[in-house]
Structure 1
């Protein structure tokens, strides 16, 4: 696999927020504000017009006496988990490769439950306009690919696709990933400001309903069904708030299974009600396209395999030292009580 250029490596590190100062801050402050008093309130970042699993769990009553306190919306997974690592929030979620990268910097975090993934309903697709000349991986040379953030899920899948289709490291460097806000990605493609748009979830389904685009490939085609991202908490927060951590993780696990087993129309209606109730002036029109959170394992339980893929990938790219990270050290299922006699 190719190594990163100096420029892309700097971008990757910057986006993951793993400067020595940030990690040091994380060790000093993570959990101080919320953990010292054995908190029952969890600070978090949300997503505009969407309902996260913790938000769904709270609305369903699964959090019990634990409450969520929204402090704003995240701009990306790497940003969200850095906020958790530095104590600005009490949990954050990101692509598992970003979690590996942050953990490799010795940030004091632990993955506690999966929250999104890829299946036949929930996947990220790489879309071009119907009249685009792009038909293969080689056609992407010199083209612009719009995605939500660099150094995370979307860029990883793009690189894997290009490698599997025989592009050399030099050719891969000629494919240009660009950051485009998710809500603007479809529009940027239709205006031909980018050549490929990475679209997922309800934004993807809305774009497909409009028509005029076709998929080049999807992450589900590349890797099959898999859990792609996890929520993390700091070691300090978990140590000081084990009961709150258990309540949170089990509630998210229950919400995963509720969404998996409840008729889609009922899930969408519940999500729409949640967004309307929180009064943030958000558009609920796209919620009707929701199909799945895409979590592969029952109740969001985490496995070594979910991290090992990215440990190997990052090691081959030179982003982390080989043998420095063990998958089993990155996560715990200790707080997931779903199906264990409580919380199910």
Structure 2
């Protein structure tokens, strides 16, 4: 499989992608409600071979008369939230650093619920081949790292790892992230087309089970448990469709808690059933490696800290000015009716 280098630098990508999406959003973002009532149809992008939390929530009956309208798949969080900002979909999800950048560039969106994160069971690992000479951050200079997209979770954690291990900005610039579809990243590593593969969740566990690779570091080791990504809706959608927004956010929150309190085998079986019912000719074998959503807070509720770490990262890179954005302005929990008081305690770790 050929691997193509990115056409722009990491910093250029972050700036240009955010500005382009913001410019488009100002002119084209619309709520998909018809007439004077609220929409009950939410357009979204999915992911091949996996079940998203909104898809799970719908299958569990948590959305009532609100339905999901699948318009295709994506492997990129930044692309997913840009689609929501420009009105091509009604919601999208991405790494919180990407959400910060998009809103800072002027996109009229608001984060409403966390949907993935990092814990002892669910984390992203930066893997090398068992016999690789790469043992430290400094060994990555001049090497290629396979990531799913630029300017998002994988690249941010890579930069933080390099910074914390004493590499200068010039040395960090010599570490080359290459964009690869997640399902192809393990293969690219084993074929030595890249030096490091970022693998998470079921794809990570499947690769580890096959043997021949070892972790250089993980994001859990680097930062501990945290919610890493959120779903966003446009401000206009939230204003025009407050009831639908509440049903969506609360339904996803209930689905998060369902995965915490339901035996793992039942969560996997439900996901397999959902994929088979949607009839897209997808392989379900990777689902057997699912362990948790990794969401830190009850019901995916959001806190300032989950955004502040990425604001600080973007400021340190010169992508944001100090004080340009406030964490509290980026999100709202007002549509989430699930709290610690209303949610049962998890029955498993």
Give the TM-score category using the shorter length.
Answer: over 0.9
Q: Tell me which residue corresponds to 1:313.
A: 313
Q: Show structure 1 runs of 5+ residues with no match.
A: 1-5
Distance 1:175 1:52 in 2: 32
Query: 1:261 Cα deviation (Å)?
Result: 1.1
Distance 1:131 1:175 in 2: 20
Query: 1:341 Cα deviation (Å)?
Result: 8.3
Indicate the SS of the match to 1:217. strand
Indicate the SS of the match to 1:111. strand
Q: Tell me which residue corresponds to 2:286.
A: 286
Does structure 1 retain, via aligned residues, the 8 Å contact 2:14–2:101? no
Does structure 2 retain, via aligned residues, the 8 Å contact 1:246–1:336? yes
C-alpha change, 1:296 and 1:58, in structure 2 (3 Å) is: same
Asked if residue 99 in structure 1 is aligned to residue 99 in structure 2, the reply is yes
Does structure 2 retain, via aligned residues, the 8 Å contact 1:34–1:90? no
Does structure 2 retain, via aligned residues, the 8 Å contact 1:145–1:195? yes
Asked if residue 57 in structure 1 is aligned to residue 57 in structure 2, the reply is yes
C-alpha change, 1:284 and 1:239, in structure 2 (3 Å) is: same
5 Å-filtered alignment, 1:140-151, equals 140-151=140-151
Query: 1:298 Cα deviation (Å)?
Result: 0.7
Q: Tell me which residue corresponds to 2:24.
A: 25
C-alpha change, 1:188 and 1:182, in structure 2 (3 Å) is: same
Distance 2:212 2:165 in 1: 26
Distance 2:292 2:28 in 1: 35
Q: Tell me which residue corresponds to 1:239.
A: 239
5 Å-filtered alignment, 1:321-336, equals 321-336=321-336
Distance 1:123 1:89 in 2: 28
Distance 2:162 2:290 in 1: 29
Q: Tell me which residue corresponds to 1:123.
A: 123
Distance 2:31 2:211 in 1: 50
* Residue-by-residue CA offset, 1:75-106 (whole Å, 9 max, x unaligned): 30000000000011010000000000000011
Distance 1:160 1:287 in 2: 30
* Residue-by-residue CA offset, 1:137-156 (whole Å, 9 max, x unaligned): 11111110001011100000
* Residue-by-residue CA offset, 1:19-64 (whole Å, 9 max, x unaligned): 2xx4233133323434764100100000000000000000000111
Distance 2:218 2:34 in 1: 40
C-alpha change, 1:341 and 1:291, in structure 2 (3 Å) is: closer
Q: CA RMSD in A?
A: 1.6
Does structure 2 retain, via aligned residues, the 8 Å contact 1:337–1:343? no
Query: 1:315 Cα deviation (Å)?
Result: 1.0
Does structure 2 retain, via aligned residues, the 8 Å contact 1:111–1:231? yes
Q: Tell me which residue corresponds to 2:12.
A: 10
When the two structures are aligned, how many residues end up with a matched partner?
A: 336
5 Å-filtered alignment, 1:192-207, equals 192-207=192-207
Does structure 2 retain, via aligned residues, the 8 Å contact 1:202–1:290? yes
Distance 1:310 1:152 in 2: 10
Distance 1:301 1:339 in 2: 8
Distance 2:32 2:228 in 1: 30
* Residue-by-residue CA offset, 1:218-255 (whole Å, 9 max, x unaligned): 00000000000000000000000000000000000000
Runs of 4+ in 1 over 3 A off after TM superposition: 32-37, 339-344
Query: 1:299 Cα deviation (Å)?
Result: 0.6
Distance 1:185 1:173 in 2: 21
